[in-house]
Structure 1
Amino acid sequence: MKNIVLIGMPGAGKSTLGVILAKTLKMPFVDTDLIIQQTQNRLLQEIIEEDGIDVFLSIEEKAILDLDVQGSVIATGGSVVLKPEGMKHLKENGFVVYLQLPYMEIEKRIRNITTRGIVMQKGQTLLQVYDERVPLYEKYGDAMIRCMGKNMEQITKEVKKLWEGIK
């Protein structure tokens, strides 16, 4: 059985939706950010600050490549699309759903930009991160859900309908 893989910007609601979706569909839930924190015994932001972005992305990619689950809802980190091998692995046995939000909404939702563990180069703005990643989310997504103005229940119903259409 395929996985449902949630991708999108930090603040798009991947982890929150993932939990609700997993309960609704009676599937296990996996959060790759939590896997990274558990295996590294550090917060994402600590890894980025102490080891740098390249090391963090390698750790994230290894966590993805080591992931061996079926029939699960997987919430990924926003930077997962930066490593093609990791995305290839997720797509091999996954239905990838891009949770799309306009930049202004992402900006509103992210209050803790310096502590959240967002992969950003020095001097890079959140808008630049958004502009860099959106084409990758669109490339890798098998489906896109426009989340603006919708609550989690509505988004869950949309993903469930898509999922039931491909099963």
Structure 2
Amino acid sequence: MKNIVLIGMPGAGKSTIGIILAKVLGYNFLDSDLLIQEQEQCLLRDIIEKHGLDGFIAVENQVNRDIRTTNTVIATGGSIIYGTEAINHLRDIGIVVYIKLSLETIDDRLGNIKQRGVVFKEGQTLKSLYEERCPLYEKYAHIIIDGEGLNTEELMEKIAEEVRHYS
């Protein structure tokens, strides 16, 4: 079976949904942000601080490009769409699912966004980041799931159903 790759904005629920989806489908679960932290031996925000945005994106691209797995739900970082090699590799080895939510919902869910290791350019706002990324998520997704107003269980079921139909 192919992998299921979850993409979307920070706060979309990729990791939370991914764990539950993996349990329900009998898949493994992999959080690519944790792989990055393991490889670099520091937190995402520290990698960004140390190497800058381009350095972080290069590491993220390399780590995701090197993922070799099957039957796995892969939760990616929100900036995965900036690494062309990585996102194309993930499209080859899995079904890419974009969890789409409104800017208002993302804003409500995020606390201290800087603590999460989110890739922001100098002076960029959450709104401008959202507007920059959403077209890229849509471009790379095999399946787009509107998660607006759904609880965790409902969203997980919707993803599982769409993936079954896609396969």
TM-score (ref. length: structure 1): 0.98
Aligned to 2:60: 60
Question: What amino acid does structure 2 have at the position aligned with 1:64?
Answer: N
What does 1:135-146 correspond to in 2, within 5 Å? 135-146=135-146
- Displacement of 1:166 in angstroms is 2.9
Unaligned runs of at least 5 residues, structure 1: none
What does 1:142-157 correspond to in 2, within 5 Å? 142-157=142-157
Q: Could you say what secondary structure the match of 1:119 adopts?
A: coil
What does 1:11-160 correspond to in 2, within 5 Å? 11-160=11-160
Structure 1 segments of 4+ aligned residues over 2 angstroms from their partners: none
Number of residue pairs matched by the alignment = 167
Q: Could you say what secondary structure the match of 1:114 adopts?
A: helix
Give the Cα–Cα distance (whole angstroms) in 1 for the partners of residues 132 and 142 of structure 2.
Answer: 19
Aligned-residue CA RMSD (Å): 0.8
Give the Cα–Cα distance (whole angstroms) in 2 for the partners of residues 162 and 148 of structure 1.
Answer: 16
Unaligned runs of at least 5 residues, structure 2: none
Q: Identity, % of aligned pairs?
A: 46
Give the Cα–Cα distance (whole angstroms) in 1 for the partners of residues 5 and 121 of structure 2.
Answer: 26
Aligned to 1:8: 8
